[in-house]
Structure 1
């Protein structure tokens, strides 16, 4: 019930879902699981313990599920899990996890991973994420839902990027980014809110106003960045502001990009 080109090489043990289309010269390893209607255009390599969700399309020369680019990796059994309806364009690379990072790299649903981008070991990527051409997400990063990472950008190991944030092109992100933040500049700086994204999502005017006020307090308020966030948790009833506060006060191995 799958359309498989005769030149494709599929190892014994691989599971191919109904309605899949596997194009010329694809290579699929023995531990790969493709759900229903996955399309591999041509010259796609999928290795490792990799599961790919239904209706995902992978374009030529992508390499999915190869071992991590981590010198500490010693051949341990680790995984890559990719959700449904993703678009994975040419020359994209996504690696399995490491034992030190929980053993699993995870991609959500409905993402767009443009040509040449990289998702490293143990990254946790949410739903509806867009990673633009030639950008790299390093190991152990957490990229929450609805994030956009601009072209030729890099995200440092262990960084968290909160829901709805947008990273401008040619930007290096070395610290955590609050939800709905706007980051730009060669050494990424928190430069405001992703107002366009909020409006497109249909967020109410009241919540956008509350987020703007919260951003101003984070920028100009008294005390440390965390002190200002705690004060916001007491003063604002907006669910979007509370989401930002929860993110700031959560566990992290990095500092935050703070408003300039």
Structure 2
């Protein structure tokens, strides 16, 4: 049987694995499914059509699966999906999706989500990310894998942040961030690539140099965005050892809708 504290309220229709722990005074709603070995701390509310994977830890006072903060929301059965091995610290708020988008808010695997983080409706967050205290995402934001969003950073709705990017403390972000780019400020400005993060993740010297050169093509060459994409395509063909990394940057530029921070 799941280990449920006697003061917790767990709806009889909730689907909890036998190894789940639920702490004192927490509330689990009827449409919630929680996977093996996940721990729900004290005073946590999990509601809505929410699916949580295995080996997650939720600290006290988080609100998970609440209705979207969107005036267009009309009570549709939208969802929140959380993967495996995530750490969610105190006072986090994750909202359901809306019918105006994919209908689901997603958080991947192996993420560190620190205190007071807000994931708004329809956000799509990858895996191995770190969100520091008070980082907030507006609705419909897409965040790639291995991204770091520092404390008190705020991301405007519909923005995209590419893989391995680094968003500095107190950043106000209103445009898209290409993969590997390090930026900060209000308004946000680019400051090179996330070299330290790439080294820690095992990128080779050749790959890092190719990414640095790609950054220069986008930000230092005076190219228009279309010219930068053409230059990246040429560099991709000439740099087989880093072709995948350059392709990731070029394809991101192809799909930006808000424009990139420049």
- TM-score, normalised to structure 2, is 0.96
Deviation of residue 62 (structure 1)?
0.1
Question: In 1, distance between residues paired with 2:257 and 2:233?
Answer: 22
Alignment of 1:75-224 (within 5 A): 75-224=75-224
2:61 is the alignment partner of 1:61: yes
Unaligned regions of 5+ residues in structure 1, if any?
A: none
Deviation of residue 235 (structure 1)?
2.4
Question: In 2, distance between residues paired with 1:28 and 1:112?
Answer: 22
Deviation of residue 222 (structure 1)?
4.9
Pairwise CA RMSD of aligned residues?
A: 1.0
2:247 is the alignment partner of 1:242: yes
| Equivalent in the alignment of 1:253 | 257
Deviations 1:8-53 (A, max 9, x none): 0011210011211111000000000000111011000000000011
Question: In 1, distance between residues paired with 2:233 and 2:252?
Answer: 11
CA contact (8 A) 2:141 2:159 kept: yes
Question: In 1, distance between residues paired with 2:136 and 2:219?
Answer: 29
| Equivalent in the alignment of 1:9 | 9
Deviations 1:126-181 (A, max 9, x none): 00111110110111010000000000010110101000000000001110001010
| Equivalent in the alignment of 1:43 | 43
Runs of 4+ with >4 A deviation: none
Question: In 2, distance between residues paired with 1:176 and 1:136?
Answer: 15
SS where residue 43 of structure 1 aligns? coil
CA contact (8 A) 2:110 2:129 kept: yes
SS where residue 100 of structure 1 aligns? coil
Size of the aligned set, in residue pairs, is: 257
